[in-house]
A and B are shown apart, each in its own frame.
Chain A
Amino acid sequence: MGRPASGEDAFDRFYGATAPAIRAYILGHCSDRDAADDLFQSTYIRFLRSRMASQPDAPEARAYLYRIASSVIADHGRELQRRRRLQTVEAPPPKTRDPTSTLAESLALREALRELSRRERQLLWLLYAEGFSHKEVAKIMNLSRGSVRVLAFRVRKKLARSIAERGPDSEEVRA
């Protein structure tokens, strides 16, 4: 794309600052690593095609990137559902897991996180991994600010209860 070298530098800086978080975000919603890699690439390709590509230093660029990633993940989820409906007899694809994440699988938090819905995990990530404000999260997730606040409160409570209920396993987390 015919952007000047300085534009490429700006994108490279933006990419360096956001790529690990975006990849982790996508992997949190998609257990198939190959598919996650495709979604990761699609996210940045769509970003580069957007008007925001010329101003990656803009403060709203990060939130915009997350909006793209969320939309890409949602599209992928719908596609998987459609395929599952069409191939009801076919066995589900084998899950390739991140080897480092398996180390932490025994942790109560990870187990509790897995029990959450896609939307709930998305909300937690945007709030606690990215530190977005309720207003920004509302914009990314197409919700009202009030809904974000209520949902965040409920999810935190749910998570706390889930961790506490794990009994001996949660001792590991508490220690």
Chain B
Amino acid sequence: MTAPRTDPQRGKLPDEAVADMLRAEFAREIEVQCSRVPGAALIRLLAEVEERNRRRSAVALLESWPQILVPATVAALLVFWREDASGALDALLPLSIWGFSWTAGLGICAGLFTLLALWPSHLIRED
């Protein structure tokens, strides 16, 4: 480590001396770590395991969401048909300006949802 000189007037170390001390100190800290870092192969292996776990949890998520979505869609359809009779859909009047057939629309949506929901889990099981 270089010997920094103090400024006798102000009791401070010169700026460049501090920088030199820092460089020497940090270099020493890095040198100490050279023999302590794990091998690159271990890090690559850990990354692979992590990646596999991430994929597995993504698959689990794909498999689980139809279980929630399908009953939810069916429940929403049932609620719609009941509420339709009581005129609750008046709140959605702006949308009905398009003359959209709600029953048909929701039926198509439910069909699409079911298709989308079952498709990935079906694919995964075939894997």
Contacts and interface: CB of A to CB of B under 8 A. Distances in A.
Contacts of B19: 128, 156
Given A20-B34, A100-B32, A174-B3, A129 B26 contact: yes
Interface stretch (A40-48, A68-76, A79-87, A132-140): A40-48
A11 B44 contact: yes
A16 B43 CA distance: 12
Contacts of B83: none
Nearest to A9: B40
B30 A175 contact: no
A173 B4 CA distance: 8
Contacts of B3: 174-175
A165 B51 contact: no
Contacts of B13: 160, 163-164
A161 B17 CA distance: 12
B23 interface: yes
In the complex, which of the residues A1, A24, A101, A165 has the most CB atoms of chain B within 10 Å of its own CB atom?
A24
Contacts of B36: 20, 23
Nearest to B42: A41
B27 interface: yes
B33 to A, nearest CB: 4
A44 B5 CA distance: 40
Contacts of B34: 20
Interface in B6-52: 6-7, 11-15, 17-19, 21-23, 25-34, 36-38, 40-41, 43-44, 46-48, 50-51
B33 A128 contact: no
A44 B29 contact: no
A64 interface: no
Contact of A45 (B15, B23, B46): B46
Contacts of A16: 40
Given A11-B44, A20-B37, A48-B44, A28 B4 contact: no
A129 B23 contact: yes
B29 A48 contact: no
Interface string A143-161: 0000000000000110111
User: Which 5 A-B residue pairings sit nearest by Cβ, starting from the closest?
Assistant: A129-B26, A20-B33, A15-B40, A160-B13, A19-B37
Given A11-B44, A109-B21, 11 more contacts: A1-B44, A12-B40, A19-B33, A21-B30, A24-B33, A41-B38, A101-B32, A104-B28, A161-B11, A164-B7, A175-B3
26 contacts: A1-B47, A1-B48, A11-B44, A15-B40, A20-B34, A23-B33, A23-B37, A27-B33, A40-B37, A41-B43, A45-B50, A49-B47, A49-B51, A98-B32, A101-B32, A124-B26, A128-B19, A129-B22, A129-B27, A157-B12, A157-B15, A161-B11, A163-B18, A170-B6, A173-B1, A173-B4
